A and B are shown apart, each in its own frame.
Chain A
Amino acid sequence: MDAAALVPCTMQVNGDARTCAITPATTLLEALRYTLGLTGSKQGCDKGDCGACTVLVDGVPTLSCLTLALACDGRAVTTVEGLADKGVPHPLQDAFDRTGGAQCGFCTPGMLMSAYALLQREAAPTRDEISHALSGNLCRCTGYTKILDAVELAAAELRERAK
């Protein structure tokens, strides 16, 4: 398909089948933010250095600013808007709010997606494991302390729920 033509791209976004018409030179982040109106995912650095744009593609934390939207055709994308369940914040979101894990909040959506994926595969991560899982998400406000606290708190809460 040529460069200028708009082509359809269909993704399962937060469980909904969403189709948008985009040019090949559209990143997933642009498609989410400007075409689908899901502005929760943020753009901080333009090119994969900060992690603010992290979303899940087929469950895997992915930098949406470096991902071409067409490469996600037919795949499942989860953004921060998809974490809450019928409007009830996910325990991870709630924990970020309670512990002060979000100050300016700009890194938060990406941070949450990385943390969410971690908790999906590891119910009881150590603080060091959390730190590694979040090492591709820069935060300029918190010094990470309260973010690590939040993930620990959410993990404990999720384990409690699973009992």
Chain B
Amino acid sequence: MSDGKPTQAPGTPPAGMAIPGNRTMPKEDRLTPPVWEGGRAAPPNGDFRMIGKRNRKVEGLAKVTGRAVYADDLVLPRMLHAKLLRSIHAHARIVSIDASAALALPGVHAVVTGADMPTHFGIIPWTEDEQALCTDKVRYVGDAIAAVAADDERTCEEALKLVRVEYEPLPAVTDIETALAHPEWQVNEKAGEGNISKHVRLEFGDVDGALAASDHVVEGDYWYEGSTHAPLEPHCCVAEFDSTGFLTVWSSTQVAHYLHRDLAKVLNLPTQRVRVIQPVVGGGFGGKSEPFSLEFAAAKLSMVTGRPVKILYTREEVFYAHRGRHPMRLRYRTGMTADGAITGTDALVQLDGGAYSSFGLVTTYYSGQLLTAPYALPAYRFDSTRVFTNKPACGPKRGHGSVQPRFAFECQLDKLCEKAGLDPIEVRRRNFIGERTKTVNGMRVTSNGFLECLDAVERESGWAAKFRRMPYGRGIGVAGSMYISGTNYCIYPNEMPQSAVQLRLDRSGRATVMSGCSDIGQGVESVLAYIVCEELGLDLRDVRVVAADTDLTPVDLGAYSSRETFMVGNACLDAARHLRLKIAQTLAERWGVAAGEIVLANGVACASSDPGRFAISVKEAFQWAEARHGTLGSVGWYQSPKLGGEYRGGTIGASPAYSFTAHVAEVECDPETGFVAVKHIWVAHDCGRALNPVTVEGQMEGSAYMGFGEALLETQRYKDAAPGHAFGLHHGPSLLDYRMPTSLDTPELHALIVESVDPEGPYGAKEAGEGPLHPSIPAIANAIHDALGVRCDALPFDPPSVMRLLRAGEARANWERARAQVGGPR
């Protein structure tokens, strides 16, 4: 200290020291999860007290009383409102933007454009092709260009009309064929070549040989129009940049963590000075699983004005944000032996991706990778190409990437069964891939309750008495499917857990669970509470869940790919068991009994050997444990084991557990009009274990409903390019023209839970949120065939389409022929 300067501690890096870039990550080494005696599926206290019971949800009463706070319910002092200026062209170069007149309008506080935050982002790190606001080019009608903050929304609207944008229109492509035929009309400069967003070709086994050796081969072309999520809550966010340089964003997102990262990146802020909070979200279905223009624009405007800024999308803008189901053109060749064994499958798939990549890289893989169960496919090839078009970007909608191929494939199976004269349920049984096995593309299958699913829908629907036996116009159809319970990798490569929970107990007798998980109505916050209650013997009201606040909660990747129950459920199970163990040890010590004897249930902690003598309240047990161990807290995390095939892309589609579903749909068709009324859908779903049957049924019913809607009613179309018509204009971006089914349209939905008890799921649970959607569409298509003798190979099966089919072919003769094969009216 002779010179009076503070000395540096040895090894302390100097302030402002540069950290070398391009450091290599260590070789992948997965974390080892704790192993519990009796496994993860077993109840901690002998039998289940909470799990499997028809419980309320933790936030249920807040929702039914109007107290639940959604993003648009937030009002901050001095808050401004903002709106986005959107492109009226499907494809154009932005020559200039002049916002001076808008800025001069009284009540306007700021205008930002793409130049204020030009950094590209994208949910998949390999395809970062989006900007918060476009700088050079717009790529679809509705692409965002500028944002205005003003005192109120009407002033914003007036100001937007004053922003002068000079466009240089470019040739636009709005369908797959044109996109491929005109590579020079490039939609997205990040494309490798022309308008190809992604191409994947994978082959497993000798497909051509298998098809050549088949007794029956069916070749079919299918068209899946695509659809959108249409959650009832439009996207909304509030951003507040405070004087300390800290940004807080409340957003109706289902991926707070990814939003956190991208906000920091695009706005050039340190991640530790950005906080993302997800309020109660009014539905997502995949439509809120990426950052959108509104979050960046609101944040930037808050930074510029120093005031909180809210952006609420209009319903129309929700259609432009989209990220819905990809339109797909699919061609399948499928072979079968005379006795019904599937031999080979050859798939050619084209995906219409819209203007940006979104999750498209994954979608392209999923369009092939997720078809390889529940049936054994001895030989399988798929060739999938995603193209860019000048339309809102497609992305992940409930059943991401695999609903379309599943539709085609299950229809293929039905046609093969017809050809072979076999019962379609029986054929699905014969091809069952089994449990504890591997698919042809290297996916590990653990539990598999698909046979029970088939049994359940066959029994409950009265299949045997109905199939091919009902009068003309009435029919019944079956389909099956599988889906993932989360993916085995994070979207950006890293070695950290995919899910985490911090659990805190305090002497008041309360547990607080903190997790970055995202409840979008599916009930994951309740799942955490149920697990904590089960492990610690608490009442549901004594657990508080703090979720999706990046300041308060450990990272969970969010609500997508049906990962939450499985992954964060496992993290929570571990956290709760760590604390349970501490409590049990404390009580065992005091009472002089074995720790294994300790039971925590119904608010009471006791020793099972002598509960009359050794029993206290759980609250008191917490206090004993706190006295013995200090403040009680624990963490749990989940990282999936290394999974997947040993080939490029072999990890995409790999999941620690797969769910399985079977549907039977019953329809009544009006041959004079083409109207199809779906009367019933029986949906049997193997969810591993239903942690709460009410919410599992809700997911199954909601999935079947959503699939039914896109099969029959919902149209996602763009106006034609006839002279004078705007090219690529959404046909009707409203809930009037996008016809989601009402209560009167919806069939009776019969949810049949199947529990295969997965060895790795929390208490054996697997996903239930997306799988049960898949078979809806093909089951209805197959039922229409049973009813009318026509094959609906293109969505939607609206009355004009059904009428065209009825008139085009020899529908009645086909119907008679099919009828003659299996029974016939008795």
Instruction: Give A12-53 as 1s and 0s: 1 = Cβ < 8 Å from B's Cβ atoms.
Output: 000000000000010000000110011111111111011010
B64 touches A108 (CB 8 A): yes
List chain A residues, Cβ under 8 A from B104. Answer: none
Given A104-B281, A141-B698, is A44 in contact with B746 using a C-beta cutoff of 8 Å? no
A98 touches B56 (CB 8 A): yes
CB distance from A140 to the nearest CB of B (A): 5
B66 touches A109 (CB 8 A): yes
For residue B521, CB closer than 8 A to chain A, the reply is yes
B232 touches A44 (CB 8 A): yes
B283 touches A140 (CB 8 A): yes
Instruction: Give B730-769 as 1s and 0s: 1 = Cβ < 8 Å from A's Cβ atoms.
Output: 0000111000101110101101000000000000000000
For residue B598, CB closer than 8 A to chain A, the reply is no
Expressed in whole angstroms, the Cα–Cα distance for A138 and B744 within the complex equals 10
A103 touches B522 (CB 8 A): yes
List chain B residues, Cβ under 8 A from A84. Answer: 65
CB distance from A67 to the nearest CB of B (A): 18
B735 touches A44 (CB 8 A): yes
| Residue from A103, A138, A139, A144 whose CB has the most chain B CB atoms within 10 Å | A103
Q: How many residue pairs, one in A and one in B, have C-beta atoms under 8 Å apart?
A: 174
For residue A145, CB closer than 8 A to chain B, the reply is yes
Taking CB as reference atom, which chain B residue is nearest A38? B66
Instruction: Give B426-461 as 1s and 0s: 1 = Cβ < 8 Å from A's Cβ atoms.
Output: 000000000000000000000000000000000000
A42 touches B704 (CB 8 A): no
List chain A residues, Cβ under 8 A from B201. Answer: none
For residue B601, CB closer than 8 A to chain A, the reply is no
List chain B residues, Cβ under 8 A from A10. Answer: none
Taking CB as reference atom, which chain A residue is nearest B519? A104
Expressed in whole angstroms, the Cα–Cα distance for A160 and B371 within the complex equals 51
Taking CB as reference atom, which chain B residue is nearest A103? B521
For residue B809, CB closer than 8 A to chain A, the reply is no
Find residues 135-158 in chain A having any chain B CB closer than 8 Å to their own CB: 135-148
Q: What size tier do the contact residues of chain A reach? A: 35 or more
For residue B624, CB closer than 8 A to chain A, the reply is no
B702 touches A99 (CB 8 A): no
For residue B282, CB closer than 8 A to chain A, the reply is yes
B66 touches A80 (CB 8 A): yes
For residue B328, CB closer than 8 A to chain A, the reply is no
CB distance from A99 to the nearest CB of B (A): 7
A142 touches B232 (CB 8 A): no
A39 touches B735 (CB 8 A): no
CB distance from B54 to the nearest CB of A (A): 8
Main secondary structure of the interface of A (DSSP, over half): loop
Expressed in whole angstroms, the Cα–Cα distance for A145 and B702 within the complex equals 9
A44 touches B61 (CB 8 A): no
Given A46-B314, A80-B66, A100-B698, is A140 in contact with B740 using a C-beta cutoff of 8 Å? yes
B232 touches A139 (CB 8 A): yes
CB distance from A7 to the nearest CB of B (A): 17
For residue B72, CB closer than 8 A to chain A, the reply is yes
A135 touches B315 (CB 8 A): no
Taking CB as reference atom, which chain A residue is nearest B696? A100
For residue A102, CB closer than 8 A to chain B, the reply is yes
B315 touches A144 (CB 8 A): no
Given A97-B64, A104-B521, is A50 in contact with B702 using a C-beta cutoff of 8 Å? no
Expressed in whole angstroms, the Cα–Cα distance for A54 and B445 within the complex equals 47
List chain B residues, Cβ under 8 A from A142. Answer: 698, 701-702, 705
Tell me which of A34, A106, A109, A138 contacts B75 (CB under 8 A).
Answer: A34
Given A34-B75, A40-B66, A139-B232, is A103 in contact with B61 using a C-beta cutoff of 8 Å? no
A102 touches B60 (CB 8 A): yes
Instruction: Give A69-80 as 1s and 0s: 1 = Cβ < 8 Å from B's Cβ atoms.
Output: 000000000011
For residue B234, CB closer than 8 A to chain A, the reply is yes
B56 touches A143 (CB 8 A): no
Given A140-B285, A143-B704, A143-B749, is A40 in contact with B67 using a C-beta cutoff of 8 Å? yes
A93 touches B65 (CB 8 A): yes
Instruction: Give B183-226 as 1s and 0s: 1 = Cβ < 8 Å from A's Cβ atoms.
Output: 00000000000000000000000000000000000000000000
Tell me which of A89, A93, A131 contacts B744 (CB under 8 A).
Answer: A131
Taking CB as reference atom, which chain A residue is nearest B681? A143
For residue B73, CB closer than 8 A to chain A, the reply is yes
Tell me which of B66, B698, B748, B751 contacts A81 (CB under 8 A).
Answer: B66
Chain B residues within 8 Å of chain A by Cβ, number: 58
| Residue from A94, A96, A105, A148 whose CB has the most chain B CB atoms within 10 Å | A105
A145 touches B749 (CB 8 A): yes
Taking CB as reference atom, which chain B residue is nearest A44? B232
Expressed in whole angstroms, the Cα–Cα distance for A115 and B362 within the complex equals 42
CB distance from A151 to the nearest CB of B (A): 10
List chain B residues, Cβ under 8 A from A52. Answer: 232
A80 touches B65 (CB 8 A): yes
B743 touches A135 (CB 8 A): yes
List chain B residues, Cβ under 8 A from A138. Answer: 232, 735, 740, 742
CB distance from A109 to the nearest CB of B (A): 5
Expressed in whole angstroms, the Cα–Cα distance for A135 and B751 within the complex equals 22
Find residues 696-746 in chain B having any chain A CB closer than 8 Å to their own CB: 697-698, 701-702, 704-706, 734-736, 740, 742-744, 746
Expressed in whole angstroms, the Cα–Cα distance for A146 and B234 within the complex equals 23
Taking CB as reference atom, which chain B residue is nearest A49? B735
For residue B63, CB closer than 8 A to chain A, the reply is yes
Taking CB as reference atom, which chain B residue is nearest A80? B66
Given A50-B735, A140-B232, is A104 in contact with B520 using a C-beta cutoff of 8 Å? yes
For residue B523, CB closer than 8 A to chain A, the reply is yes
CB distance from B642 to the nearest CB of A (A): 34
For residue B280, CB closer than 8 A to chain A, the reply is yes
For residue B695, CB closer than 8 A to chain A, the reply is yes
B735 touches A103 (CB 8 A): no
For residue A11, CB closer than 8 A to chain B, the reply is no
Taking CB as reference atom, which chain A residue is nearest B694? A100
A135 touches B742 (CB 8 A): yes
For residue B675, CB closer than 8 A to chain A, the reply is no
Expressed in whole angstroms, the Cα–Cα distance for A45 and B280 within the complex equals 18
For residue A134, CB closer than 8 A to chain B, the reply is yes
CB distance from A70 to the nearest CB of B (A): 17
- For this complex, 18 residue pairs linking A to B, each with C-beta atoms less than 8 Å apart, are A39-B70, A40-B66, A40-B67, A45-B734, A46-B316, A80-B64, A98-B56, A103-B523, A103-B698, A104-B233, A106-B70, A131-B743, A134-B743, A140-B232, A140-B706, A145-B697, A145-B749, A146-B701
Of all A-B residue pairs in the complex, the 8 with the closest CB atoms, nearest first, are A40-B66, A104-B521, A106-B282, A143-B705, A105-B63, A80-B66, A39-B73, A103-B521
Q: A109-B66, A142-B698 are in contact. List 17 more A-B contacts (CB 8 A).
A: A46-B734, A49-B315, A49-B734, A49-B736, A97-B57, A98-B56, A99-B694, A100-B695, A104-B231, A104-B520, A105-B62, A134-B743, A138-B740, A139-B232, A140-B740, A143-B702, A144-B743
Residues on B lying within 8 angstroms of A by beta carbon are 54, 56-57, 59-70, 72-73, 75, 154, 229-234, 280-285, 314-316, 520-523, 694-695, 697-698, 701-702, 704-706, 734-736, 740, 742-744, 746, 748-749, 751
